[in-house]
Amino acid sequence: MIKTSGALTPRSHFYWITLVQSSAKPADWKTLLAQLWRIRLFEGHVQRLAAGGEVPGFPHLSTGQEAVAVGVCAHLTQNDVVFTGHRGHGHSLAKGCNLTATMAEILGRDTGLCRGRGGSMHLVDAGCGMLGATGVVAGNLPLAAGAAWAAQARQTGAISVVFFGDGATGAGVFHETLNLAGLWKLPLLLVCENNGYAEFTSRAEHSDVAKVSAFAAPYSIPSATIDGNDLIAVHQSAASAIEHVRRGDGPYLLECMTVRLAGHYVGDQQQYRSKEELAEALKKCPIERLKSYLLSQGVTDDELMAIADQIKQEVQRDVDAARAAAAPDPASFAEGVYASPLLAAGC
């Protein structure tokens, strides 16, 4: 069990957290490092399969942003629910979606999470609390507030978590969600992955509000801006934020500053980014940072390589299983699409 410090100052809205010394041991962080690797390797497969024409549509990779998914989801129970957007592979895996079924969904197979109907941008697995990805930017925010309202009304003790990008904050529904979530003190954790881009447009080009956390205070929502590429920072800050939400004190906005190491979608040539910028981004890789920390704590290179090898084999095996699965029978196309009494009656 990783203990946290509760270092957040609740009502600060524009604030870089000062991390206190972690009481976690390298063994705990090794488990989370393995999860970072799992997501990175999974998305490496998605990239290769997409390049080979096996993936319908345009997958969006979270390469470089994995620490946010892993650091936040480490604190969630199966009853807690998660909503994500178009860049949601990492969130789905971190919340507990089966890797083979997730890949099968991305490949459009019948064994996929949604029987291949949804694909990369519509990963849903209610059984493990993954209530869904959506390709509609900011569309997940009111859905997550609705789930939080349901949990509050039913007094289940569960919380709702929504992952969204900095670009989503330009949508009106972002502010509508903050307004009602703050007013009704909903058990909602809003996690912004601020990677500085909305598609090919930098944040500076589309907003004068540099920090997304600045939007929270007018709605009486506490917030923090943290280094989203530091797994330990994310883990600690998420613990405190989730404690606040679970206690019944209302929503919390956690802004995680991060970097997108890949293009907006697989195939994006990124001509709008300089070589220097990409080189700087690489230095912030959350996996390399956690590895360096572990090495400084006495973990050996051999131990890290053994973990990497094991994860590599597991991911390869699970991806192979997904690729071997059959596509849905075209005759079953309407199954699971509508819950219509007329369809059920064969009308």
Pairwise CA distance, residues 338 & 324, whole Å: 28
Question: Would you count residue 40 as binding ligand TPP (CB under 6 A)?
Answer: no
Q: Least separation, in Å, of the C-beta of 339 and ligand TPP? A: 25
Of residues 44 through 83, those in contact with ligand TPP by CB under 6 A are none
Question: Would you count residue 120 as binding ligand TPP (CB under 6 A)?
Answer: no
Question: Closer CB to Mg ion, residue 2 or residue 68?
Answer: 68
Residues 6+ apart with CB under 8 A from 331: none
Question: Closer CB to ligand TPP, residue 29 or residue 164?
Answer: 164
Pairwise CA distance, residues 308 & 228, whole Å: 22
Of the candidate residues 119, 165, 250, 286, the single one contacting Mg ion (CB under 5 A): 165
**Tokens (6 digits) for 312:** 């590599």
Number of residues that bind ligand TPP (CB under 6 A): 14
Question: Would you count residue 115 as binding ligand TPP (CB under 6 A)?
Answer: no
Of the candidate residues 98, 195, 240, 258, the single one contacting Mg ion (CB under 5 A): 195
Which one of Mg ion, ligand TPP, none is in contact with 135 (Cβ closer than 5 to 8 A by kind)? ligand TPP
Q: Least separation, in Å, of the C-beta of 256 and Mg ion? A: 11
Of residues 272 through 331, those in contact with ligand TPP by CB under 6 A are none
Q: How many helices (H) and strands (E) does the chain have?
A: 12, 8
φ and ψ at 329, to 5 degrees? -70, 125
Helix axes 140-154 and 172-183, enclosed angle (nearest 10): 10
Of residues 197 through 226, those in contact with Mg ion by CB under 5 A are 197
Residues in a beta bridge with 223:
253
Choose the stretch contacting Mg ion; rule: CB under 5 A; options: 72-80, 157-165, 206-214, 309-317: 157-165
Pairwise CA distance, residues 224 & 14, whole Å: 6
CA angle 55/73/226 to nearest 5° reads 100
Question: Closer CB to ligand TPP, residue 165 or residue 251?
Answer: 165
Q: Of all helices (H) and strands (E), which one includes residue 153?
A: helix 140-154
Could you identify the residue written with the tokens 């291949």?
116
Instruction: Assess contact for 78 and 299: CB atoms under 8 A.
Output: no
Question: Would you count residue 198 as binding ligand TPP (CB under 6 A)?
Answer: yes
Question: Would you count residue 167 as binding ligand TPP (CB under 6 A)?
Answer: yes
Q: Least separation, in Å, of the C-beta of 345 and ligand TPP? A: 36
Q: Of all helices (H) and strands (E), which one includes residue 164?
A: strand 160-165
Q: Of all helices (H) and strands (E), which one includes residue 83?
A: strand 81-83
Question: Closer CB to ligand TPP, residue 106 or residue 168?
Answer: 168
Binding site for ligand TPP (CB under 6 A): 86-87, 135-137, 165-168, 195, 197-199, 264
Binding site for Mg ion (CB under 5 A): 165-167, 195, 197
